[in-house]
Amino acid sequence: MRAGLVDRLAELSRGAGEPAVIVDRPDVTVVRSGGTVLKAHAPRLDPAALATRLRVAAHPLLAGILLAPLGELSPVEGRHVSRWPYGAPVAPDAPEAAPWREAGHLAARLHAVPVDRLPGPLPPMAGPANAARAVAALRATLTAPAPRIPADPVPAPGRTRASAPAASAPPHAPTPAPQRLTAPERVPAPNGTLAPDPASAGPGPAADRTAAALVLRAWERLPAWARDDEPRAQPRSLLCHGDLHLGQLVRHPAPDGPWHLIDVDDLGLGEPAWDLARPAAGYATGLIPAADWAAFLGGYRAGRGSAVAPGDDLWPPEVDVPARTLTVQLAARALVDAATGVRPLDDTDHDLLAACARIAAMGDGTGPGGAP
């Protein structure tokens, strides 16, 4: 089925140039041909909501913020396919030139768009639902026959992380991180025992179960609204991207046009702090340098973004619970990928799992210092 989909997308785009597969996963397939990109969206997405998201991206109020699609959805091999102009992505070999400030500024502009002037009805931003889906997948993996979550050998001291922006989690070398998510390497768990460091547990079924249990314990420490269990008190309904990270930025026109946000699959109404959660989680877990996080936050505040208060606080309380939630989501997704043979755990995954151990030893984020 997927091979037929790739072939069909390549055939449809061939007139623009020699087709090349950019992404080919069970949920998403992306093919580029010259200046045109075709994307087959995840089957789980509601086509009516997706069509609305495309209309929003094409609206004049989003010009210069979201990349505009080339037309509407088309059915291809039983999937819903959108067509886009090609934009040059963030250079993977130049992390020092990553557009952190520009990303923050684009997020602020997105959040300021008046939603009552946009096509509707707009669906909810998919942030908490995506987190709940990742944890549900982890639970399903644990109940499957003979679950197995392979782990890489324990990295030696002084290990290095990837130096290029990645879609799965923010990279870069470790730096001092905010107090809320950082703690000694091993911290007391809520039951009085010592929370294990998943990176040192070693491979094997016991380690697999230990890592998954840590993630699930961290999940239960989150407020109900962050787990998508109940509506949030005093919810906000601003236009949000829903899955903001450096992999969602491109220059258009390529190669050196202004930066635009891409990928509208999770676009919708919701809490704007969620769009700051991915880089915040990277900073809090030591995966993004303080300077990069400060640049992102500075760009957001310079754009008068409403998710956080003005000032120079590098850890505004509004981002705390979303950052914890994204950390748990990414760790759960990594364990599922490892269990299903998509890829083994890497250094970034071990850092996320260690952060989950620290989150598991915290409160539920509803008191002082956490988002309400």
Sequence-distant (6+) residues with CB within 8 A of 87 are 67, 250, 251, 252, 253, 254, 257, 260, 262
Residues 329, 100, 65: CA angle, nearest 5 degrees: 90
Say what the pLDDT of residue 288 is.
Answer: 94
Spell out the domains of the chain, with CATH numbers in brackets.
1-85 (3.30.200.20), 88-372 (3.90.1200.10)
Q: Any bridge partners for residue 188, and if so which? A: 194
Beta strand extents in the chain (DSSP E only): 19-24, 29-33, 36-40, 74-76, 79-85, 88-89, 238-240, 249-251, 259-261, 268-270
Query: CA distances (Å), 54 to each of 22, 41, 47, in order?
Result: 21, 12, 10
| R_g of the chain computed on alpha carbons | 20
**Residue 298 to residue 77: CA distance in whole angstroms:** 44
Could you give the 3-state DSSP secondary structure of residue 39? strand
> Do the Cβ atoms of 67 and 44 come closer than 8 Å?
no
Residues 31, 3, 137: CA angle, nearest 5 degrees: 85
Tokens at 244, concatenated: 């903001």
**Residue 148 to residue 142: CA distance in whole angstroms:** 9
Tokens at 223, concatenated: 């407020």
Cα end-to-end distance, the chain, whole Å? 45
pLDDT tens by residue, 269-311: 999 999 999 999 999 999 999 999 999 999 999 999 999 999 9
Nearest to 61 by CA among 101, 104, 112: 112
Say what the pLDDT of residue 3 is.
Answer: 64
Say what the pLDDT of residue 100 is.
Answer: 98
User: What's the number of CA atoms in the CB half-sphere (13 Å) around residue 1?
Assistant: 10
Residue by residue, DSSP assigns 228-291 as TSSPPSS---EEE-SS-SGGGEEESSTTTS-EEE---TT-EEE-GGGGGHHHHHHHHTTSS-HH
**Residue 226 to residue 57: CA distance in whole angstroms:** 26
The answer to whether the predicted template modeling score (pTM) of the entire model surpasses 0.85 is no
Say what the pLDDT of residue 16 is.
Answer: 62
pLDDT tens by residue, 167-217: 333 323 223 334 344 332 333 333 333 233 444 334 445 567 889 999 999
Say what the pLDDT of residue 96 is.
Answer: 86
Which residue's entry shows tokens 């644990």?
Answer: 142
Say what the pLDDT of residue 215 is.
Answer: 97
Say what the pLDDT of residue 347 is.
Answer: 94
Query: CA distances (Å), 254 to each of 17, 66, 203, in order?
Result: 16, 15, 44
DSSP state of 113: S
Say what the pLDDT of residue 173 is.
Answer: 28
Residues of the chain with pLDDT under 70: 1-3, 14-16, 145-207, 363-372
**Residue 6 to residue 288: CA distance in whole angstroms:** 34
Q: Any bridge partners for residue 76, and if so which? A: 79
Residue by residue, DSSP assigns 49-87 as HHHHHHHHHHSGGGTTTBPPPSS--EEETTEEEEEEE--
Buried-exposed string 250-274: b where 16+ CB fall within 10 A, e elsewhere? bbbeeeeeebbbbbbbbbbbbbbbb
